[in-house]
């Protein structure tokens, strides 16, 4: 299968790019929320600092992660799972700030997913050279709920694949404030992020932060 964005991209609104039937990029959708998001992000990382998880296969992930919400995603030699407790702090993950939830719900609604109620927000930190190899998000109970992704900081090249790992992936640049919503028939597509290029963002410096909101339980 090949993906040709010229065939699928809707040009009616240059802030809203349809990647596929149930996957859309909302350009700069998060911009009005950023001033309120950043102090919350700071508080979350004080309570549950970024860490490099180890995959069940024993590889240290180059992306650093933390979480907020009732459930957080974690990984170790025993497997991948959602957990109410941060294994590093031994306490519950920080609560999901209201402004996070409001952004996620507004973006989901804009993409046609009303009533999205995420219980988990994964927070990924990318530094130059960091990548995320092609994968599917399959650890959630309910594939009917969409996933909402918020990009902050320096740009990244996102890989938007198909339903088989070998399907050719389209490259989609994501910038500070961009939101991607994907659900329905596109919920289980393979996706990833190419190694981050060096750059500097006025608010976040030389890094990219990605928030992904999920309904895990």
Residues that bind ligand MD3 (CB under 6 A): 23, 122, 124, 132, 137, 149, 158, 160, 180, 182, 186, 189, 191, 193, 210, 212
Query: Which residues pair with residue 6 across a beta bridge?
Result: none
* 23, interface contact from Fe ion, ligand MD3, none, CB < 5-8 Å by kind: ligand MD3
Q: Which residues of 69-86 are buried (b: 16+ CB within 10 A; e: fewer)?
A: bbbbbbbeeeeeebeeeb
* Helices 98-110 + 34-47 axis angle, to 10: 130
* 125, interface contact from Fe ion, ligand MD3, none, CB < 5-8 Å by kind: none
Helix (H, G, I), strand (E, B) or coil at 100: helix
137 touching Fe ion, by CB under 5 A: yes
Kindly tell me which of 137 and 178 has the beta carbon lying closer to Fe ion: 137
Kindly tell me which of 137 and 140 has the beta carbon lying closer to Fe ion: 137
Kindly tell me which of 90 and 165 has the beta carbon lying closer to ligand MD3: 165
Half-sphere exposure of 51 toward its Cβ, with a 13 Å CA cutoff? 19
* 100, interface contact from ligand MD3, Fe ion, none, CB < 5-8 Å by kind: none
Number of alpha helices (DSSP H) and beta strands (DSSP E) in the chain: 3, 13
CB of 42 to Fe ion, least distance (A): 24
Tell me whether residue 9 is exposed, middle or buried, using C-beta atoms within 10 angstroms of its C-beta: 0 to 12, 13 to 18, 19 or more: middle
* 210, interface contact from Fe ion, ligand MD3, none, CB < 5-8 Å by kind: ligand MD3
- Span from 87-95, 134-142, 148-156, 159-167 in contact with Fe ion (CB under 5 A): 134-142
Binding site for Fe ion (CB under 5 A): 137
């Amino acid at each position: 299968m090949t993906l040709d964005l010229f065939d699928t991209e809707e040009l009616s609104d240059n802030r809203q790019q349809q990647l596929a039937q149930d996957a859309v990029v909302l350009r700069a959708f998060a911009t009005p929320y950023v001033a309120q998001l950043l102090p919350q992000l700071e508080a979350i990382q004080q309570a549950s600092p970024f860490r490099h998880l180890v995959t069940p296969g024993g590889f240290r992930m180059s992306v650093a992660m933390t979480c907020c919400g009732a459930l957080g995603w974690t990984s170790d030699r025993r497997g991948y799972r959602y957990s109410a407790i941060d294994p590093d702090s031994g306490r519950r993950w920080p609560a999901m700030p209201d402004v996070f939830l409001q952004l996620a719900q507004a973006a989901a609604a804009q993409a046609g997913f009303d009533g999205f109620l995420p219980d988990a927000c994964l927070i990924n930190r990318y530094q130059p050279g960091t990548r995320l190899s092609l994968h599917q998000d399959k650890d959630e109970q309910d594939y009917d709920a969409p996933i909402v992704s918020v990009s902050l900081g320096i740009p990244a090249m996102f890989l938007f694949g198909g339903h088989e790992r070998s399907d050719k992936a389209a490259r989609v640049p994501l910038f500070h404030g961009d939101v991607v919503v994907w659900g329905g028939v596109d919920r289980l597509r393979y996706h990833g992020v190419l190694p981050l290029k060096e750059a500097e963002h006025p608010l976040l410096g030389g890094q990219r932060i990605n928030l992904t909101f999920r309904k895990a339980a």
